[in-house]
Structures are given as C-alpha cells and as structure tokens.
Amino acid sequence: MAGEQIYWQAPDPVEAGAEAAPERVDIAVIGAGYTGLSVALHLAQAGRSVTVFEAGGIGAGCSSRNGGMVGPSFHKLGSAGLIARYGEAKTLAIMREGIHALDYLEAFVAEHALDCDLQMRGRFRGARRLADYDAMGREGDWLSRHLGLPVAMVPRAEQEREIGSAFYHGGAVYLRDGGVHPRKLLVALAQAARAAGVLILPHCPVTAMRREGAQTALQTPRGTVTAQEVVVATNAYADRRTPAMQRRVVSLCTAAVATKEIPQPLMAELTPKGRMFGESGRVFMWFRPTPDGRRFIFGGRIGRPGGSAETQRRAFGRAITRVFPQIGDVHLSHVWSGNVAYTPDHSPHLGFEDGVWLAGGYCGSGVTRSIYFGMKLARKILKAQGGDTAFDDLPFARVPFSPFSGAAAHVMTKWYAHLDARDLRRDRG
C-alpha cells in the first residue's frame, strides 16, 4: 500500500547481524511470526538446536499488522455449520480447543512475563439486523449450555452501556475475549525465544529446499543448512519458496486504520467498558480502542485493501461514520494493510505435509491460535505427550485451482458486500 503507516510500534528485538547460518541444526523454522517463534521456543526449551529464518524483519507479516484481538477464536462456520458438517461430538471438541488455546495464551503470557498489554475486557458483537440478533442469542445459548462460555445478550435499548452507537439492533458480549498490543507480543516472544537459545536470522530467506535422505538441505544467502526437521510457518505470506503452505491457504489482503487521539470523554462514550468490537455480516468491520485507551483502530476487508492510503481512508471513513457518526470527522493518522490466510474448510491446521511440518490457516483469528499451535506442533515433533488437537484428523487439503484462488476470493468478497448492503436496505426500510 502506497504511503502506509502501521500504528503498532514497539522497540525491535535485537536484530541479528550478518552472521552465517549454522551448517547443521535439529530444527529449521521458516517464518519469524507468532507461530514460528512459538514452535522454536518450545523446541529449544526441550533441548533442540533451532534456527528461525525470516525473509524480512522479525514479525514483518501479520504478527505486527493484526488488530491484537484475542479470544476462543471459534470456527467461522459457527456451531450450526460445524454440527452439520462434523456432528455434535466433533463440534464440541473443535470449539473446546479454542477455549484451551485462550487458557494457554493467558498462562503463557503470565509464565514468561510478556509485556504485551493483555487486557481481557470482553468483546461486543453488534447485530446489523434483527435476524442477526436472534441468531446470536441462539448461538450464545448453545455456547453457554455446552461449553460453559459466558455470553451476555444486550438488547438495543440497553446497548449504550456497551457501545456509543445506535447503529446496531443490540448484540452479544463475549466475556472471555480481550486484546493485546500485537507488536509488543511479537517482540516479547522473540526475546523469550532468543533467551532459550533460538538463533533468529532476519533478512535471511530460504530460497530452496532439497530432501537428502532423512534430512533437508536449505539454501539461504548466508549458507546451506542441513536440518533434521523443517517447520514452515509462513502462513498468509507463503510463496513458491514454501509451496507446502502456499498450496493449502488462500492469502487475502485486509486493511486497518487508526484514528488520531480522541478526547477521553468521547472515548468513554464510544466504549464505556473498553471492549473489543465486531459485528455481524458476511463482510464485517472489527474495531477496538488502543491499549492506552486514546485511539480507535478499525479493520477488515473494507474498500480496496492494498490500494492507496487515501482510498482506504475514504472507505473506512464511510464505514466508521455509520457506526460512530460522532467521530466521522476524526483524522485517520495511520493506514496499513496485511495478509491473512484462509482455508477451504474454514479451519486452521497443523501437522506433517509434503515432507515439512506446517501450522497455519487461521482464517483471521490467529493471535491466540498461533502461539497455541506452535506449542502443539513442537510436541508433535518431539513425539511428546499433549501434542494432539481436535484438528488432527481434519485434512489440510490443497486449495483447488490455487493460482486463481486470490482473484476468486476478491470477487466473492465484493459479492458478499453487495448482499450485506442489500440486506441492510431491506431491514431498515
């Protein structure tokens, strides 16, 4: 995106110099985002020699560009869609995995004393239509009864206690959701990995891989490395250099903006409880206060992600005004974009495919899942207890017609946005 400026800033982890890559290593990890650093940390703690290769700077992809929202990260299909596909027992297992992932993230942050502004203040999801509110109520009731997850329905007449907006027909509050500063989390994770003995090589892409018996030779600008095992953690930034991942995910560009500082009385009106926010719809906008409570960040597949900064400012300005007309004239100080990875079955995956270990396909909900999946993948590689997940028997299938998947997804996004606009017109007369 021309002229982009990312809001999230934090002191960079100590960047490695131009040292050579080791000739041999137990585990080579490709990608220094949340997943790669998490799996590297856990493997190093188990005594393995681990080197992480990153084509750009540490966390240059989605790990520094996301909205920093955390929660159980339930499946995109919802309980009804999952039950229709897998049955109730499997659905419960998949959704419990999301709760386990959140529990693990909170414990992990506490164990390592990670400075990442973790704030578990809940998330309000607004219902664009009355029918959406009813659907949220049914889903919330199911989650409470079957998983013990606290969900509070908020009717429209009472929603001002949650959000300073009259746009929604009420909504649901997910009390186990929260937020982090994503860049701080990334930096703290990199520091913990280095302290455990992980060698991280930024600006050192793996340009080719060749299987040599039970080992793999990785070609890099700093030398050839022979590894016993290879982990590909490139997710939405996979390319021909990491084809095992590239063939299995659809990379979608999404965008985000940050406002300039907003007066505290107005911030208190917009978010009385400091919640995270989302909304119903096929193409929706997420938004949240920054951890310091001084600005708002909005994101989603709004406008033309990846286009010019001014184009995105205009598109987000329209979307923001419909929710918060009181800040329609607030300047958007930061505009940026990034890629997220979707899968054909809307599920994240981890396992061994095409001769390498993979974890990814988080479908836009990767902050919680990635660190948890990194731990699980490490245990699988180590053949240790506790490496199993509810996703293990879901095949990480290749994307049909993969070269055209991005263009097809863009067309579908436009179509879904059209359907959303049509439904809103009908609902609001």
pTM of the entire predicted model = 0.93
Please identify, among 284, 312, 337, the residue that sits at the C-terminal boundary of a domain.
Answer: 337
- In three-state secondary structure terms, 110 is helix
pLDDT tens-digit readout, 308-318: 888 999 999 99
CATH number at residue 33: 3.50.50.60
Residue 258: name the closest of 283, 291, 214, 225 by CA: 291
Same domain, 31 and 137: no
Please identify, among 337, 354, 381, the residue that sits at the C-terminal boundary of a domain.
Answer: 337
- Total Cβ atoms within 10 A of residue 19: 10
| 429: in domain | no
Same domain, 140 and 50: no
Specify whether the CB–CB gap between 62 and 233 falls below 8 A: no
32-36, 64-68, 320-324, 419-423: which range is least confident on average?
419-423
Same domain, 324 and 192: no
Residue 331: name the closest of 267, 257, 260 by CA: 260
Confidence of residue 426 (pLDDT cuts 50, 70, 90): confident
Q: What residue numbers bound the domain in which 108 lies?
A: 1-119+178-249+343-398
80-94, 198-212, 350-364, 407-421: which range is least confident on average?
407-421
34-38, 121-125, 251-255, 397-401: which range is least confident on average?
397-401
Please list the residues that pair with 357 across neighbouring strands.
Answer: 231, 352
| 403: in domain | no
Proportion of the chain above pLDDT 70, given as a percent? 91
Mean pLDDT along residues 178-202:
96
Query: What phi-psi label fits residue 94: left (phi over 0), alpha (psi between -120 and 50 degrees) or beta?
Result: alpha
pLDDT value, residue 215: 95
| 428: in domain | no
45-59, 228-242, 361-375, 398-412: which range is least confident on average?
398-412
- The residue with greater pLDDT, 77 or 153, is 153
| 212: in domain | yes
Same domain, 140 and 256: yes
Mean pLDDT along residues 117-123:
97
| 407: in domain | no
pLDDT value, residue 411: 61
| 420: in domain | no
18-22, 87-91, 116-120, 378-382: which range is least confident on average?
18-22
Same domain, 204 and 68: yes
E-strand spans in 295-425? 296-300, 332-342, 349-353, 356-360
Mean pLDDT along residues 173-179:
96
| 373: in domain | yes
Same domain, 268 and 312: yes
Please identify, among 316, 337, 358, the residue that sits at the C-terminal boundary of a domain.
Answer: 337
Same domain, 317 and 358: no
Say whether pLDDT at 225 is over 80.
yes
Same domain, 7 and 145: no
Confidence of residue 171 (pLDDT cuts 50, 70, 90): very high
Same domain, 315 and 170: yes
Say whether pLDDT at 253 is over 60.
yes
pLDDT value, residue 421: 65
Same domain, 10 and 156: no
d(CA 91, CA 85): 9
| 167: in domain | yes
Same domain, 267 and 314: yes
Say whether pLDDT at 374 is over 60.
yes
Say whether pLDDT at 329 is over 60.
yes
Please give the structure tokens belonging to residue 197.
């003995």
Say whether pLDDT at 416 is over 70.
no
Say whether pLDDT at 306 is over 80.
no
Q: What are phi and psi of 86, to 5 degrees?
A: -120, -10
Please give the structure tokens belonging to residue 100.
């386990």
- In three-state secondary structure terms, 182 is helix
Q: What is the number of domains present in the chain?
A: 2
d(CA 84, CA 39): 33
Same domain, 151 and 287: yes
Say whether pLDDT at 48 is over 90.
yes
Q: What are phi and psi of 114, to 5 degrees?
A: -75, 125
CATH number at residue 332: 3.30.9.10
pLDDT tens-digit readout, 276-290: 999 998 778 999 999
Please list the residues that pair with 27 across neighbouring strands.
Answer: 50, 229
